[in-house]
Chain A
């Protein structure tokens, strides 16, 4: 792991979907086992570049996510490496039994990319707004579950996954996101990243909530409250040792989920700390469905903003 934080919060240089296409092209050039599977969302995830270079290794299967999971299983039986993409709720909820049995239970490997994490589904609204995907895939035994904080992390993780034989779920923002890491940063799957040290509280976040947690930490610092911030991008297996360390160091832990507070990162942190008494509070979507709207509206509506994080820290100090 070698991480360098960006100095200011700006939109990342690249949309995450472009990172997906470009990284997959790079991987496919070096490894003829790489196969891309899509369910009629290539236009949305912008993988036409990959398709142009590797038409024989692009399977746009049509709007049939269940079949897509099974076909991926078959491809992996023959040693190919399937990368599956759909919007997060279709990549998980829509095809859950197929993901669970044809891949998980069958001990077959694939990388499943779920895009439009939580409120970033924005104008696609409630039918397309995944607040449950992490909870679902966490229930698949031995599955690795991750959420990407920015394109730099996404590229590094995709590259690492190609070297591994595992079934993994990678939750991403599809379009623009705030850049968190400098180009060239590298990460260890299963290890949380400590972004900031402070003794008053520890904020554990993933995805878009990492940048929000960092913003909140700056506001808190102005008021003399110093918090640690951890990017817990691997939600399963979660970095228990790091959580135990910060449970001992700080007064309480606040988790931040762009997801239902049931089943996501917050639940995973609570489970990891079940025999390690420390106060844990979960900030996230309070058992509600999604709805239509711009992302900034939705972040306010579901109380996910940096100000909400500041408030939650102060209330629990």
Chain B
């Protein structure tokens, strides 16, 4: 785990423990991808979140808000203290990502399958406007149940949106259990490749592998790229990894203590 990824996980744990519940699993699985996006890949200016020449990120799996908020706070989009207000009345950090609430959030998401269409729309607009900005979108593997995802994929391919990078967080679990048990989607990489996207699969917890996947995407012209991220839901929290009910965790006092101990341990490792 890189130092930044560790810091993001510390914040996720602390904000969710403060509230006592939240979308832990799917937040933990995308931390490395966010780390590479916000530290290496995207052109951003945290002091000017609406900068016209920025790259865009749409978290289509909007329930992973806590991971995005922690990343944005650590990058300086807003004060870290705000993280502890997650889901409080009138918070700027609602459970699901909201472009009108949180500096740095590019699209409101939460109803699955919708963020990817908006992301493709931003990419299309940039083509119409002759701009070079790039658009990144994170979709969950459970989210692939939604037919709209495939509408957006066909759209991105047809319109040759090579400024569009789709990431699929293949953490193999959705709310009610393993994706293969609920509606088996088969080989996701082959499936997306069959739509004509340049598709590759990498270890979603290996930042070097993610970086080189983004480099590859930049070199591809005329088609969008899809990076399937092979991940572990709740990555880093051992007692929850592989637990099929880790999508939304409501913690008892013992679990809160274990989680805070883990965050403190990570913090100690940083010091």
What residues of chain A have their CB less than 8 Å away from a CB belonging to chain B? 35, 56-57, 59, 61-62, 64, 66-67, 69-80, 97-98, 101-102, 105-107
Within 8 A of A (CB), among B83-104: 99-100
Residue among A57, A62, A70, A78 making CB contact with B148, cutoff 8 Å: A70
Given contacts A73-B118, A77-B125, A106-B100, A97 and B155 within 8 Å (CB-CB): no
Cβ of B261 to closest chain A Cβ, rounded Å: 39
Inter-chain CA distance A70–B114, complex, in Å, is 6
Tell whether, in the assembled complex, residue A73 and residue B155 are in contact, meaning their CB atoms are under 8 Å apart.
no
| Chain B residues with CB below 8 A from A97, complex form | 111, 114
Tell whether, in the assembled complex, residue B118 and residue A71 are in contact, meaning their CB atoms are under 8 Å apart.
yes
B124 within 8 Å of A (CB atoms)? yes
B34 within 8 Å of A (CB atoms)? no
Which label, helix, strand, loop or mixed, suits the secondary structure of the A interface? helix
What residues of chain B have their CB less than 8 Å away from a CB belonging to chain A? 56, 99-100, 106-108, 110-111, 113-126, 128-129, 147-148, 151-152, 154-155, 158-159
Inter-chain CA distance A107–B122, complex, in Å, is 15
Tell whether, in the assembled complex, residue A74 and residue B111 are in contact, meaning their CB atoms are under 8 Å apart.
no
Cβ of B40 to closest chain A Cβ, rounded Å: 24
Interface centre among B111, B114, B158 (most CB of A within 10 A): B114
| Chain B residues with CB below 8 A from A101, complex form | 108, 110-111, 114
Cβ of B130 to closest chain A Cβ, rounded Å: 10
Given contacts A66-B117, A101-B114, A77 and B107 within 8 Å (CB-CB): yes
Tell whether, in the assembled complex, residue A67 and residue B152 are in contact, meaning their CB atoms are under 8 Å apart.
yes
Residue among B100, B125, B154 making CB contact with A74, cutoff 8 Å: B125
| Chain B residues with CB below 8 A from A62, complex form | 151, 154-155, 158
| Chain A residues with CB below 8 A from B100, complex form | 106-107
Interface centre among A59, A61, A70, A72 (most CB of B within 10 A): A70
Cβ of A91 to closest chain B Cβ, rounded Å: 15
Cβ of B220 to closest chain A Cβ, rounded Å: 21
Q: Contacts A62-B158, A73-B107, A80-B128 given; 10 further ones with Cβ under 8 A?
A: A62-B154, A67-B117, A69-B117, A70-B117, A74-B107, A74-B120, A75-B121, A77-B121, A80-B129, A107-B100
Residue among B120, B128, B158 making CB contact with A56, cutoff 8 Å: B128
Tell whether, in the assembled complex, residue B148 and residue A67 are in contact, meaning their CB atoms are under 8 Å apart.
yes
Residue among B108, B124, B151, B159 making CB contact with A102, cutoff 8 Å: B108
